Amino acid sequence: MSKFNFDFKVKIVTEYLSGQAAYSLARKYGIGSKATVSIWIQRFERFGIKGLQPKAMDLEYTSQFKVDVLNWRKQNQASLPVTALHFNLSSPSTIWQWEKRFETLGIKGLERKRGNSKNMAKHKNENAKPVVQKDNSTTKDMDLGQESGHILCII
């Protein structure tokens, strides 16, 4: 959940566009940092009003997208905030997390799904029966062209 709602961000950007300084606005409204206001302004300038709207919390990015983001950042020697703005990502720290996972685990680190499997295992129903599903579709896994086989799901 966002600390600042959409209407508040619009109000701040509107005041900025009418001549208020980002630092003054941050101070006036108790926003922790001028950088936060600056990010809203940059997002508005690049994406319009949609740039200020909250992003869905359940977004999942493909491994290929993550690799593209990391490659672009490296090739352009861009900062985390600039890279996040370029790819319309809401948080630069997301890219930092991808970098750390890639450095420690390689491409497998970017394939990680949400959630902590250790915690999820605690809540697993002991009486659950495995269900086998056949998936005949072909998936593109980092251009390896691997075909998917059987998927084991615990319900």
> pLDDT per residue over 121-134, tens digit each?
444 444 444 444 44
Whether the pLDDT of residue 59 is over 90: the answer is no
Q: Which pLDDT score, from 0 to 100, does residue 99 have?
A: 95
In whole angstroms, what is the distance from residue 69 CA to residue 89 CA? 10
Closest Cα partner for 36 from 83, 70, 78, 3?
A: 3
State pLDDT tens for residues 97-144: 999 999 999 989 998 666 655 444 444 444 444 444 444 433 333 333
